[in-house]
Every structure is written in C-alpha cells, then in structure tokens.
Amino acid sequence: MPRHIVILISGSGSNMAAIVRAAAAGRWAQRFDARVAAVLSNRPDAAGLTWARGEGIATGAVDHKAFESREAFDAALASAIDAHSPALVVLAGFMRILTPGFVERYAGRLINIHPSLLPAFPGLHTHRRAIEAGCRVAGATVHQVTTELDHGPILAQAAVPVLPDDTPESLAARVLSQEHRIYPLAVEQWLAASSEVVARAT
Ligand code: GAR
C-alpha cells in the first residue's frame, strides 16, 4: 500500500509547496512508494489550500473556531487526517498547539518545522526575539513532535547569519529560504529510513 503523507498548514504553505515539488523531482512515488495524499488546514481560507488543489492534491479544512475545546478540535482534525491513512503527518506552518492525545496518536510519524535554532526560541515571534537577543546566527529546525511545544528529537537544522540591519521580516525571509531546502530533505530522509525498516521486516 502506498505510504501517504498528510501535510497540515495554516497559511501560505510555502514549505508544503517545497515538499510537494521535492516529491515530484525526487520521484518519491517510485523510490519510497510515498506521495502527498492530502493538505489540511485549520483555516478554510489558507492560500496553500488553493495551491494544493491546483496540483490535484486532496484538501480539507477543519476550522478551529467551530470547536469549543482543543480536544474537540484535535479529535475532528485526527478524523480528517485518518481518512487518508497517513504514514507521516507533516506540520508545515501549522499554527495550533496540539493536545498530548493528538501527539501520542501520531507518535513517531509526526514532524514539524520551527523557524529558530531549537532549543532556542520556542513559541512565537522567533525572529524578533533572536534580533533583540543580539544573536549573530538564526535558523530553522525540523524535529519530531513530542508533547512539549517545539521540542523533540532534531532531524535537520540550517543556520543563517543575522545581519546588523535585519528586521524580523528580512530575517524571516532568509530563514524561510533555508526551510524550503531542509524540510524536503528531512522528509526524504525519514522516508528512506522507514523504507529500510520495512525492507528489513519483509
Ligand atoms: C514557517 O516559517 C514555519 O517555520 C513557521 O511558519 C512559517 C510558515 O510558512 N512555523 C511556525 O512558526 C510553527 N511554530 P509557510 O506557510 O509559507 O510554510
């Protein structure tokens, strides 16, 4: 059975698009029997959903505003995800805090990208905080998701310089271009490693 990747976004989805492009360019279907099966968002108007639909990818929205609790939202989100039988769930600019139950449900197959060199600057406003702290380098981290926010085993990192006249916006753009490089690589490495496990078991 093909291995399905489900990507969760909240906004423009540029990391999602980088992964979709890498899947085609890197022939993930042939090499890993893997494909991006769906892109889901907590925001029905997320621009990335329109882009994904244009690529012929199934999309869906579970609007967090329609739910009274995080648990109820996460249960609905999990149902939408599980409809695609995911081997891997990829958080790509997904801006909701997930409940421990949700994280445990996808343990070992849930990864995230965060725009800082974790464990520095978990949470929001990472670029402004890095500039205010006087950091000379900033960057991005791909990591496995655990129940602690923006923690978990690191899968990939990239560093960029912080320049003297940087604004949060200029630094974010420099970091984002590295995100587009390391996130597809990290997903590909995850697929390669899990393919070896499957091969050893058969
Ligand atoms: C990215 O910079 C990503 O690292 C960040 O949101 C942006 C999404 O951009 N994620 C977080 O801050 C998660 N805590 P994109 O929608 O264009 O991929």
90 lines ligand 1 (CB under 6 A): no
**pLDDT for 48-74, tens place per residue?**
999 999 999 999 999 999 999 999 999
Mean pLDDT of 132-156: 97
Is the torsion defined by CA of 62, 68, 74, 75 positive or negative? negative
Burial annotation 51-60 (CB, 10 A radius, 16+ → b, else e): bbeeeebebb
Mean pLDDT of 18-45: 98
CA–chain centroid gap for 94, Å, is 7
pLDDT of residue 179: 98
CA of 177 to the centre of ligand 1 (A): 11
Give, using CA atoms, the residue closest to atom 12 of ligand 1.
114
Give the position, in ligand 1's atom list, of the atom nearest the Cα of 10: 16
**pLDDT for 85-115, tens place per residue?**
999 999 999 999 999 999 999 999 999 999 9
Is residue 201 pLDDT above 80, yes or no? no
* Record: fold of 3-201: Rossmann fold (3.40.50)
CA of 195 to the centre of ligand 1 (A): 28
Query: What is the value of pTM for the model shown?
Result: 0.97
Mean pLDDT of 110-128: 98
